[in-house]
Each structure stands twice: as structure tokens, then as C-alpha cells.
Amino acid sequence: MYDSTFKQLRMKYAYNLASQISEVINSEDWDERLQKILWPHSVEPDNYFSELITENIEKVNEPTKETLLHVLIRDIFNMEIGARLYHFNDEIYSEDTDFVEEFLEENFINILQFYNVAIPDYHEILERINNDYENDSINEDEYEKKIKEFAEELSSLIDLVEDNIVNETFYLLYYDKPFLFEFNNILSSYVEEQIGVVARCSLPEWLKRAVIFRDYGKCQECGWDLSGAYRRLEDRERHLDHMIPLIKGGTNDPTNFQLLCSVCNLEDKTEVIKPEYRIQTHW
């Protein structure tokens, strides 16, 4: 019997979205890159992050399972879907029926079918609209209106798969600590500006388990093996470290923690160290 945390993942779309988001956050000109995603929605990157903090203060102050990164992934995914619809409405013209069908398949139908969402028989619907147009039952404007309405209907079905895609993308990105560090680093200046210093809070068991599990039970600085630590060691021996310290604009969001041994964590550090992407190889 599987428990609810042992999930089946369908990673196809998550890989694309995760690589798109990590390219933006990891680049030095992240604000320009984000601007390219945000422009159809008239949102400035600066305002976006500022609002991400102010609208999610509870996530900044205490760990929540729906993290600040979930919010970012969800927003970028929705903007991406919105942009697809925007381009479609911009490019559609009545003569090119192949374009319409290919565009809808590529941008909406393939995703829905991949997640087994029941969709209308689009071949039949498009054929009917085309026939009406060719028989002059509808004029060009009406043709475009019907096609756009159908595209809108398909894009709204994407809501049904949004949670899956967001959670799958989060799963991929949560293993990438240099990415998480950069994400929290970007957030830190907005946290300092909007909130100041976030207070330390007690960390829930689910988060401790998750970070120990994700970090292979090893201190992420010296590699000291803390595995089996969950039962044997006390909290004072394994530390959940804020990658961006609270004093420097760090948050209590689950994306800002890594596992350290007590020795590494208690060392006096003058600078904030970006973690490396380390994995435990399978053999």
C-alpha cells in the first residue's frame, strides 16, 4: 500500500519548466530575463518579487508546504500559458487551418492528453468551424471568434493539471541547492526592504525529515555522515542551516534550509557561502 507521499510523477513538462526557471534565476541578468516572461502581463520583475514577499508574509515567517518557490513556479507556468494564448490570438488568420490545429495540439492538447484529461473531440470541432466558414455560414470575424473561444476553453482546462506540473517542477528544483540559494538571494533584498529581519521559528518535523532526506543525511559543508541521524542523533548534533541567514534577509521558507553538522554550523563565518550541487551517486 503506497502512502500519500509516495507519488507517481510524469516529468515531461516539469523538465522544461524547471530548466526555464533555473536559467532565469541563475543568470546575472535575471531581471531582464524575467522581464521577457512578464511583459505580456505588464508586471515589472522588481514589483513581482516585492509582491511575492508582501503577499506571502506567512510563508516568509514560517515554513509552509506550499513554499515561496511553488508560488513562483505557479506564476511562471500561468504566465507561460497566458502568453501562448496571447500569441495564438495574435497569429491566427482564417486561411491557415493547419496552423490552428498544430498550435492547439502543441500548446494545449498534448499537455492535457499527457495527464489523461478528458478533452472535447477537437478534430470534429475545428472541422465544423472550418466548414461553416467555407460554406459562408459564418464570416471571417465569426470564424476567428469561434476559434479563439475554443482555444480559451482548452487553455482553461490546463487548470486541472497545474498542481501536478507545479509539484513536479518543485521536486526537480528542490534538489538544486545552488538554484535555491540564488532564489533566496534574490528574495533577500526584498525581505530586507519590506520586512527587515525575519524572526527565528521552531521548525516542523516534516521539514526536518525532508531536508535530511534531500541532503542524503550528510553535512553539506564537510560531508560528515549524519545518516541514521533521524533516530540516533539529537537536534543539537544535526542542524538545519539557513543558507541565506535571517540577519541578511533570509526567510524561514523550506527552500532556504540545508543540513549541516553542529561543528560546521557553529563555525564563525564572515561570508555567506553558496552551496555546491552535490549528489549521492547510486553506485
- Residues lying near Zn ion in the complex (CB under 5 A) are found at 219, 221-222, 224, 261, 264
Output 154 or 261, the one with its CB closest to Zn ion. 261
Q: Which amino acid is at 136?
A: D
Helices (H), the chain: 12-26, 30-38, 45-54, 57-61, 68-91, 97-104, 110-114, 122-134, 140-157, 159-174, 177-194, 205-214, 229-232, 262-266
For the bound state, the minimum distance from the C-beta of residue 218 to Zn ion, rounded and expressed in Å, comes to: 8
Output 48 or 224, the one with its CB closest to Zn ion. 224
Quote the CA–CA distance of 122 and 204 in Å, as a whole number: 47
193: helix, strand or coil: helix
Nearest to 277 by CA among 254, 258, 252, 253: 258
Output 18 or 261, the one with its CB closest to Zn ion. 261
Contact 83, 40 (CB under 8 A): yes
Contact 213, 233 (CB under 8 A): no
Nearest to 220 by CA among 181, 170, 169: 181
Residues 6+ apart with CB under 8 A from 165: 13, 14, 17, 77, 111
The three cell numbers locating residue 25: 534565476
Output 116 or 280, the one with its CB closest to Zn ion. 280
Nearest to 194 by CA among 60, 58, 54: 54
For the bound state, the minimum distance from the C-beta of residue 257 to Zn ion, rounded and expressed in Å, comes to: 15
Contact 68, 52 (CB under 8 A): yes
For the bound state, the minimum distance from the C-beta of residue 39 to Zn ion, rounded and expressed in Å, comes to: 44
Output 163 or 237, the one with its CB closest to Zn ion. 237
For the bound state, the minimum distance from the C-beta of residue 265 to Zn ion, rounded and expressed in Å, comes to: 7
For the bound state, the minimum distance from the C-beta of residue 209 to Zn ion, rounded and expressed in Å, comes to: 19
Output 219 or 240, the one with its CB closest to Zn ion. 219
For the bound state, the minimum distance from the C-beta of residue 261 to Zn ion, rounded and expressed in Å, comes to: 4
Helices (H), 135-228: 140-157, 159-174, 177-194, 205-214
Output 76 or 261, the one with its CB closest to Zn ion. 261
Output 147 or 219, the one with its CB closest to Zn ion. 219
For the bound state, the minimum distance from the C-beta of residue 267 to Zn ion, rounded and expressed in Å, comes to: 9
For the bound state, the minimum distance from the C-beta of residue 274 to Zn ion, rounded and expressed in Å, comes to: 16
- Pseudo-torsion of CA 242, 23, 279, 205, nearest 10°? 40
